[in-house]
Structure 1
Amino acid sequence: MTVWIDAAAGASGDMLLGALVGAGVPLAALQDAVDAVAPEPVTLRVEEVRRGALAATRVHVDVTESHHHRTWRDVRSMLTGHELALTVFERLAVAEAAVHGTTPDEVHFHEVGALDAIADIVGVCAGFEHLGATEVTVSPVAVGSGTVETAHGTLPVPPPAVAELLRGVPTFAGPVAMELCTPTGAALLTTLATAYGPQPPMVVNRIGVGAGGRDPEGHANVLRLFRGLEASTSGSERPVLLECNVDDLDPRVWPAVLTALLETGAADAWLTPILMKKGRPAHTLSVLVDAGHAAVVRTEIFRQTTTIGLREQPLTKHALDREMLPIQVDGHTIAVKLARHEGVVVNAQPEYDDVARAAASLRRPVNEVLTEAQDLCRAFLGTGS
């Protein structure tokens, strides 16, 4: 089982719990694990909510009021036999000791030692054990900015313990001025992760969207979890470039040729005007295709054009993570394609066909509607949402 965690909007224990339940982990499996260690009654409760424009799953941790501040020794005795959860708490203890100048055994966990945090950590660890995840890749983590109120007073974001836990991990500030990654979230991510980066090659079969407790304006406070099977990047999955020079085809035929190649399985196809020997005008046909579809596309090139030979070369392709989100222009929905680099939106473009349909319905010039849509798209740039 391969898992990718999208922490571009931050991370916390309850967000991870919600993402696990949303991705198909039974709530009973998490509750049973918590019941086995909790010294006082703890109940996990699921609520379907919205964060920004996204539907998400929130897991509430209902506990009786408790002011018990447990030490690492206390927690360690509670979690005997729960190795993954012990590792998470040990990581927390070491980080807290480092920032406060003490030893792990003397650390009083305060917030993270409360019953709800114990439930978060034990529940999340049980959820990942239920998934049987062998590879867990975590995106760059949004930590937020500004300040946060803690048991130690007002602290900068990221708080010292979070900064310590995320040493050596790809992180970034923002996208809003608030604490986005909690110490519990940071400890869980760094314990579970086998790698960091964008979504790896995988066949996704379930997606869980876990909600944080807050719902700030303009920011979808969620963590996404993709689960599935590893997809091989060797052999038939490698992209190849097919090319040929054509100087004896009626130019009016080319649009139909490009359409046919895309319908046959090409990822992209385009023309470049060139000048051949003896001054003959011509075109270079370039076709990008996965190696597994190359044979079919080669046949279609020979069938659709006058070429009698092809050049072929393997490529290495780097693609940004992409996602479609809707915007509204004068009451009409227009899809926007977002492209992310290391979790941050670097490109946001409205779909032209949607713009043209909206312009026709509104009886406005296409260029005017396009400009308005592009202005709205700028709000996405530089964000993780």
Structure 2
Amino acid sequence: MTIAWLDCSAGASGDMFLGALVDAGVDLALMQAAVDALGTEPIRLRANRATRHGLVGTKVDVEAPEVATDRRWRAIRVMLEGADLEEATRQSALDAFARLAAAEAAAHGIDAEDVHFHEVGALDSIADIVGAAAGLASLGITRLTASTVTVGGGTTRGSHGSIPLPAPAVLRVLSDAGAPVVGAVPYEACTPTGAAIIAAAAAGSYGSMPEMVVERIGVGAGGRDPKERANLLRLVIGREIAPVRRTGAAHVHRSHDHGHVGPTANGNSFVASHSRYGSGSPVEHHLGPESSTGHDHHEHASPAAQAHRDAETQAPAAGAKPVVIETNVDDLDPRLWPAALAALLDAGASDAWLTPILMKKGRPAHTVHVLCRPEAIAAVRSALVRHTTTIGMRSYAIEKYALERRYTHVNVDGHEIGVKIALERGEVVNASVEYEDAAAAALSLGRPLKVVIAQATALAAEQY
């Protein structure tokens, strides 16, 4: 599986992310197309080589006009929802802005829906977030880890006058994401835009560079060249080294990358495999809680949803416990529930399910339960409000235990079928066939689905 590590020792900003992506091989035209899809005033992305402390990287400049336009969270959300974007890119950008809206709401003591973005709502910052979402999605990264984030210190001037550094929005976004931070330098090293992209991309996975075979490195240059350190953001991309033991035998197997979502963070909502775009295959979401094995034959989630769900297999940051959000709903057309549950998963929920209940005066209703990591709370709450008729909700932290997961595939008469492997202390204890792959193979081979699932399961058992 393709994994990545962000070196944020010099901080991060939107243009540094774009530069690192271009330096890593992402076509600038791909990110430009995503920005153009917003339908705003003309915005141009231009890439050039730049040197910081003798080290070369790529600097991407965003050329956009200054316009007096309403940039409240609701307006930006409408813009993103109406744009012709890949769904993974749209959900990633919405996730980043939802984090910023929650942070600004907390800093100013207002409702998130009423947050008026100033610097972050400018066209260049919107282009940074959407371009980064499109670029990261195109790389096929299944898990992204970020280092400790250097945020800087001192003061800067914003639309409201002088503000302390790190900016309140930066601290709140990274705090909500459970990201480790350090001041280290006497200037603004991490911008709110940079913090939101880090939080959405890493989705709770922070630490030193994971063990990998490095395949490429992207270096993005910031606008300044301070004397304290090289103002560069590094994106290191490689193949995960993930040994899998057979039960009772010393055998090492490396997962094959065949387009299935792997364990992330992405979701890591900013992370998606290239083969998951526009497949045209039907999407099914189960209506019950996650099984004890952590997988379901009939479940295929969106890239963002699966990335968040698989992130649960990683150790959470200190104090960052998973959260269950609940609300009782008695007036929603029941035909809308499947779409509502799908929207919650797309917003970053690890799982979403319904429980039928009886409310006062004998009214039938449902309790919708949503399991998510802390960094997804804002996006999940927003999805609940937008896709159901609730006017409030409750939440509580829980303890969760999930097995480590790996992905491989088996071949049934020429048809590749994905298999999710669950491990306990490195030992394979469960293997689950991907339902959609088996269904496609059964249709092509003219066999009953149950026969193909049995064949694939038997082949998986032989491997492990």
Instruction: For 2:128, give the aligned amino acid.
Output: D
Instruction: For 1:231, give the aligned amino acid.
Output: I
Please list every run of at least 4 consecutive aligned residues from structure 1 whose deviation after the TM superposition is greater than 3 angstroms. 233-238
1:260-297 CA-partner distances (Å, limit 9, x unpaired):
xxxxxxxxxxxxxxxxxxxxxxxxxxxxxxxxxxxxxx
Shift of residue 171 of structure 1?
0.7
Which residue of 198, 210, 213 corresponds with 1:200?
210
Instruction: For 2:235, give the aligned amino acid.
Output: L
Pairwise CA RMSD: 1.8
Equivalent-residue separation in structure 1 for 2:41 and 2:69 (angstroms): 11
Q: What pairs with 1:187-336 in structure 2 (closer than 5 Å)?
A: 187-194=196-203, 195-232=205-242
1:70-123 CA-partner distances (Å, limit 9, x unpaired):
001110011015111011111111110010000111111000000000100000
Q: Percent identity?
A: 52
Is 1:27 the counterpart of 2:28 in the alignment? yes
Larger-gyration structure (1/2): 1
SS across alignment from 1:113: coil
Shift of residue 68 of structure 1?
2.5
Equivalent-residue separation in structure 2 for 1:38 and 1:180 (angstroms): 31
Equivalent-residue separation in structure 2 for 1:223 and 1:237 (angstroms): 38
Q: Which residue of 2 aligns with 1:4?
A: 5
CA contact (8 A) 1:38 1:119 kept: no
Shift of residue 26 of structure 1?
0.6
CA contact (8 A) 1:52 1:218 kept: no
CA contact (8 A) 2:148 2:182 kept: yes
Q: Which residue of 2 aligns with 1:50?
A: 51
Q: Which has the higher strand share?
A: 1
Q: What pairs with 1:171-190 in structure 2 (closer than 5 Å)?
A: 171-174=181-184, 176-190=185-199
Q: Which residue of 2 aligns with 1:251?
A: none
Shift of residue 237 of structure 1?
12
Which residue of 170, 174, 182 corresponds with 1:162?
170
Equivalent-residue separation in structure 2 for 1:193 and 1:143 (angstroms): 16
Shift of residue 179 of structure 1?
0.5
Equivalent-residue separation in structure 2 for 1:233 and 1:136 (angstroms): 19
Q: How many residue pairs get matched?
A: 237
Query: What TM-score, normalized to structure 1?
Result: 0.59
Q: Which residue of 2 aligns with 1:242?
A: none
Shift of residue 211 of structure 1?
0.6
SS across alignment from 1:28: helix
Instruction: For 1:60, give the aligned amino acid.
Output: D
Equivalent-residue separation in structure 1 for 2:160 and 2:151 (angstroms): 19
Shift of residue 234 of structure 1?
6.8
Equivalent-residue separation in structure 2 for 1:51 and 1:89 (angstroms): 30
SS across alignment from 2:119: helix
Instruction: For 2:103, give the aligned amino acid.
Output: A
Which residues of structure 2 form unaligned runs of 5+? 82-86, 253-464
Equivalent-residue separation in structure 2 for 1:55 and 1:149 (angstroms): 30
Q: Which residue of 2 aligns with 1:94?
A: 102
Q: Which residue of 1 aligns with 2:153?
A: 145
Shift of residue 152 of structure 1?
2.0
CA contact (8 A) 1:69 1:114 kept: no
Equivalent-residue separation in structure 2 for 1:77 and 1:128 (angstroms): 22
CA contact (8 A) 2:21 2:218 kept: yes
Equivalent-residue separation in structure 2 for 1:186 and 1:229 (angstroms): 26
Q: Which residue of 2 aligns with 1:123?
A: 131
Query: What TM-score, normalized to structure 2?
Result: 0.50
Q: What pairs with 1:350-365 in structure 2 (closer than 5 Å)?
A: none
Equivalent-residue separation in structure 1 for 2:95 and 2:239 (angstroms): 26
Distance change >3 Å, CA 69–CA 150, structure 1 → 2: farther
CA contact (8 A) 2:11 2:151 kept: yes
SS across alignment from 1:47: strand
Equivalent-residue separation in structure 2 for 1:233 and 1:210 (angstroms): 32
Equivalent-residue separation in structure 2 for 1:221 and 1:214 (angstroms): 7
CA contact (8 A) 2:45 2:62 kept: yes
